[in-house]
Every structure is written in structure tokens, then in C-alpha cells.
Structure 1
Amino acid sequence: MIDKRVEYSFEDDLKESLKNPEFKKVYDELEPEFTFIQALIDARREQGMTQKELAKRTGIDQSDISKIEHGKLNISFKTMRKLAHGLGKTVQIQLIDEKVKV
């Protein structure tokens, strides 16, 4: 018997979900947070650093770093800066016109 299950990727699911205007609005509002989280994860991994090592550098509990990376903990700008500094980075924020998407 042939298995006729279809596999979907996250990207496929996201593309489909973004067709819903309400979902897209919420997703767009969260995009800057997603971008920061992904940049944090990428920088940490590029340096071959574990969450535990980043915790030691920043004084932020490893469990909180995990929550941040999973989008389960909202953080202040001060914490963003502390995490960036622990990675040898800095945070840059821009104010742009809402009608202009960069």
C-alpha cells in the first residue's frame, strides 16, 4: 500500500497562514521581535557558544536565554543590549515611517 500522506514544511504552513489578514497583521507586528531572536541565535551559534556560556558572560540565567530564544519571554532594551554585548555585538534600532517597509 502506498503512503499518501503529504508532508508540509514550516514555510508552507506560514505561507498559507499569511493569507489570513488577521494572522498577517499579528505576524507583521511581531516581525521585529522575530528578527532580533533569530539574530541572537545566529550570532551565538556562529561563535560556537552555548546558552550556558552566554549566560556566564551576561549574568542572565540560561533558562531565561532559552525562553528568549523561543519567544516565550519579553525582554527590555537593556536586556537586549546585555545579550548583544555578551556576543561582542551592539543593538541598532531605527524609527521608520510605518508606510515604508525596509
Structure 2
Amino acid sequence: MDKFFLGNAWELLEEVSNDEDKKEYGLYDIFYYISTKIFDYRLEKGLSQKQLAEILGITQAMVSKLESGEYNPTVEQLWKVSRKLGWSMKVLLEDSESKATHLWDNVEIQELSEGSKLFTELGLIGA
């Protein structure tokens, strides 16, 4: 049997995707961030989905959908979740052609003036 090399999935997506698809991947990244943030919180606190549901005032099924990314919560719902879990919520909307913004890992670095930088955690829900 011949062996074959399976290339980098991200490179393949880049090759076969059009601009609209690429924009949609950005939306999926947001859903992924939200779901992993909630999932990680639950695990760090040693909570079951049912216990987290009680804290949030929602059903266990809804916690499951939030953690799996199956549910797309509204901004208001995210705000309520963040308040109940003791998080601050930040929404960053800016021009996509902002020349002074660089992305590095999960940190946004904005150059405010020469030699001065502001580090802000990326994401819809801040820790």
C-alpha cells in the first residue's frame, strides 16, 4: 500500500476557499472561543453541566449547546453569562484596515504612540 502525505488542513482551506468562506471561518472562530471559554470555566471549577446550568439559570441542555458551539447566543445572553460567572465582556469592532493593530497569539497589540503599546485580551468574553 502506498503512503500518502496529508497536507496542512489550514493551507488546503486557504487554497479551496473563496473570500466569503474565509469570512465565515472568522465567525466560527468566535463561536469556538465562546464555547471553549465556558467549557474551560466549568472544568476549572469542577462543575457538572447541571451545576453550571443552575448558576446561569438555564437548562443543562443549553449548557451543552453552548459548550459544543451548537448554539449562537445573543450579545445580551453573553453579557448575562459573563456577569453570572464574574467576567467582564468586551466587544471589539474596528476597521479591518487598521494599520496600527497587529495580532499575536491571543493578544491584541495596539501601538498608541512610538514605543508605547497597549495589550488587551482578545475575545468577546474577557477573563
Common fold, TM-score beyond 0.5?
yes
Bigger Rg, structure 1 or 2: 2
Aligned residue for 1:19, secondary structure, equals helix
Stretches of structure 1 that go unaligned for 5 or more consecutive residues are: none
Kindly provide the CA deviation profile for residues 43-72 of structure 1, in whole angstroms up to 9, marking residues without a partner as x.
222222222111101111110111121121
TM, length-normalised to structure 1: 0.70
**Structure whose residues are more often strand by fraction:** 2
Q: Deviations over 1:6-25 (max 9, x none)?
A: 8x7xxx54553343223433
Counterpart of 1:16, as a letter, is L
Picking from 13, 16, 29, the partner of 2:12 is 16
Q: CA RMSD in A?
A: 2.7
Deviation at 1:89, TM superposition (A): 1.5
What is the aligned partner in structure 1 of residue 66 from structure 2? 68
User: Sequence identity, in percent?
Assistant: 25
- Which residue does the alignment assign to 2:34? 36
- Structure 2 portions without partners, runs of 5+: 104-127
Query: If the length of structure 2 is used for normalisation, what is the TM-score?
Result: 0.59
Bigger share in helix = 1
C-alpha deviation, 1:96, in angstroms = 1.7
